[in-house]
Chain A
Amino acid sequence: MASEKSSSDLTLLDFWVSPFGQRVRIALAEKSLPYEYVEEDLLAGKSDRLLQSNPVHKKIPVLLHGGKPVNESLIIVQYLDEAFPDTPSLLPADPYARAQARFWADYVDKKVYDCGSRLWKLKGEPQAQARAEMLEILKTLETELGDKEFFGGEHGFGFVDAAFAPFTPWFMSYEKYGEFKVAEVAPKIAAWAERVGKRESVAKSLYSPDKVYDFIGVLKKMYGIE
């Protein structure tokens, strides 16, 4: 992760384990764009800079380009494609393929984190429901991936891959809380997770499953969940 001021004048306000921030880190790495990484210690409170840069949601990631803020991880990734058109793009060129990529990235965005959170936050019947939903989500994504190497298909590693890859270290935690194995429920997704984890941009942006599991433990303590 670059830490010095950069010639592309990009700053990323982020939180180390955030899958949403990691999407942006992956995109920046895929594009070889230098940037200043700023760790927001969210557990300690939000900085003035963050609150000013994202007054509506007060959330990371925030990309500052020449000081101007762009918010929402998938919007930031699309922005990087459009603002830096001479770098490898994450969205494909064909409009239909782009629409499909946006649809599936949106699906990941709407479903995975929320359902996963319910898996580790809740018990009993609501947890069982979250488990059933997570299995459904994984199977749906499995069908979409099919036999492709990446969700991007002909395009290669793409928008949906960048959107979903940051959740792969969370699989171990989902498996523990949900008592299932991704490799059994969605073997193609499990294989994709392994492939994508070896990709340089992804490997250097993500943290280990153990670190994620420990972080969930920290969150549970904070929320007073057993």
Chain B
Amino acid sequence: MAEKGVKVFGMWASPMVIRVEWALQLKGVTYEYIDEDLGNKSDALLRHNPLTKKVPVLLHDGKPIAESAIIVEYIDEVWKDGYPIMPADPYERAQARFWAKYADEKCNAAIYPVFTATGEAQSKVVHEAQQCLKTLEKALEGKKFFGGDAFGYLDVIVGWYAHWLPIIEEVSGASVVTEEELPLMKAWFDRILAVDVVKETLPPRDKLLALNKARREQLLSA
């Protein structure tokens, strides 16, 4: 008999995991959070996501779902009478999915090198990250959030930038999201950080900063 309830297999510093928490909290769903040691993954995680073995995994009444963007849509569909995460209009939904994919495939790949680049190489990767984010920023034009007036799907998917990017900037000494280069995104950061479910779930800044400093040192000395 499958156990009832909602579990999230996550890791406190993971931005992919936080998306799932935001979605669940927007819907007012109670869940058990299991913090994984990614260097020593639990049997349960490996059993529930044998293919990629990654977090987040959502377990709903014993049934597992992997891939954060897919989990967020699932949550929206199951708790359909709660806070609307996806836009209602099919064309808007397609646009939201398009930008989510763009952000995850292109922007994440452009941001990651900023974390480790040093010296002259840094300005090149910063420029590329900015180009990617500028393209994404177009979807914010004339709006408070990517979702329009309210925090929506695309905000759930990329909202992590508001907390994690300033930390990446501090750790690497790079300046990516500036008033000059990305004014809309910078203003949106402030709105994201003021959203209730965001405030209630973000990992403590000092802890996240320390972890990323250590990780960067480790990567640079490897």
Q: Is A96 an interface residue (CB 8 A)?
A: yes
Closest chain A residue, CB of each to CB of B74: A99
28 A-B interface contacts by CB (under 8 A): A65-B91, A68-B91, A70-B91, A70-B98, A71-B98, A72-B97, A75-B94, A75-B97, A75-B101, A76-B94, A78-B97, A79-B94, A82-B94, A83-B90, A95-B77, A96-B65, A96-B74, A98-B73, A98-B74, A99-B70, A100-B65, A103-B65, A103-B66, A103-B70, A106-B67, A106-B70, A107-B51, A140-B51
Measured in the bound complex, the distance between the Cα atoms of B143 and A51 in whole Å is: 25
- A44 close to B (CB within 8 Å): no
Task: Name, among B65, B70, B94, the residue most crowded by chain A CB atoms within 10 Å (CB to CB).
Answer: B94
Query: Considering only CB atoms, which chain A residue lies closest to B78 in the complex?
Result: A95
Verify if B63 is at the interface (C-beta below 8 Å from A). yes
- Chain B residues in 8 Å Cβ range of A75: 94, 97-98, 101
How many residues on the A side are at the interface (Cβ–Cβ under 8 A)?
22
Chain A: minimal CB distance from B206 (Å): 36
Which residues of chain A from 36 to 81 have a CB within 8 Å of any chain B CB? 56, 65, 68, 70-72, 75-76, 78-79
Residues of chain B lying within 8 A (CB to CB) of residue A181? none
How far is B83's CA from A105's CA once the two chains are assembled, in angstroms? 27
What CA separation (Å) do A78 and B87 show in the bound complex? 14
Tell whether A102 is near chain B: CB-to-CB under 8 Å.
Answer: yes
CB < 8 Å neighbour of B71 from A65, A72, A82, A99: A99
Interface of B, secondary structure class, is helix
- Quote the shortest CB–CB distance from B164 to chain A (angstroms): 23
Asked if residues A83 and B77 are in contact (CB atoms below 8 Å), the reply is: no
Interface 1/0s, chain A 88-109, versus B by CB < 8 A? 0000000110111011001100
Neighbouring A residues of B77 by C-beta, 8 Å? 95, 98
Report whether over half of chain A's contact residues are helix, strand or loop; otherwise say mixed: helix
Minimum C-beta distance from A18 to chain B (A)? 18
CB contacts (< 8 Å) of B51 on chain A: these are: 107, 140
- In the complex, A116 Cα to B198 Cα: how many Å? 41
Q: Please give 17 more A-B residue pairs, beta carbons under 8 A apart, in addition to A82-B90, A103-B65.
A: A68-B91, A72-B97, A72-B98, A72-B101, A75-B94, A78-B97, A79-B94, A82-B94, A83-B90, A83-B91, A95-B78, A96-B74, A98-B77, A99-B73, A100-B65, A102-B67, A103-B67
Number of B residues, CB within 8 Å of A: 21
What chain B residues lie within 8 Å of A78 (beta carbons)? Answer: 93-94, 97
Contact B93 A102 (CB under 8 A): no
Assess whether B31 is interfacial by the CB under 8 Å rule: no
Residues on A with C-beta less than 8 A from B60 are 96
Within 8 A of A (CB), among B82-123: 90-91, 93-94, 97-98, 101-102
B interface with A by C-beta (< 8 Å): 51, 60, 63, 65-67, 70-71, 73-74, 77-78, 90-91, 93-94, 97-98, 101-102, 135
The residue of chain A having its C-beta at the shortest distance from the C-beta of B97 within the complex is A75
Question: Cβ of A102 and Cβ of B91 under 8 Å apart?
Answer: no
Across the interface, which residues of A come within 8 angstroms of B97, CB to CB?
A: 72, 75, 78
B8 to chain A: closest CB distance in Å?
A: 15
Alpha-carbon gap, A68 to B74, bound state (A): 27
* B91–A96 CB distance below 8 A: no
A105-128 interface bits toward B, Cβ cutoff 8 Å, 1 = contact, 0 = none: 011000000000000000000000
Q: Give the complex CA separation of A56 and B100 in angstroms.
A: 13
Given A56-B135, A103-B65, does the pair A95, B91 have CB atoms closer than 8 Å?
A: no
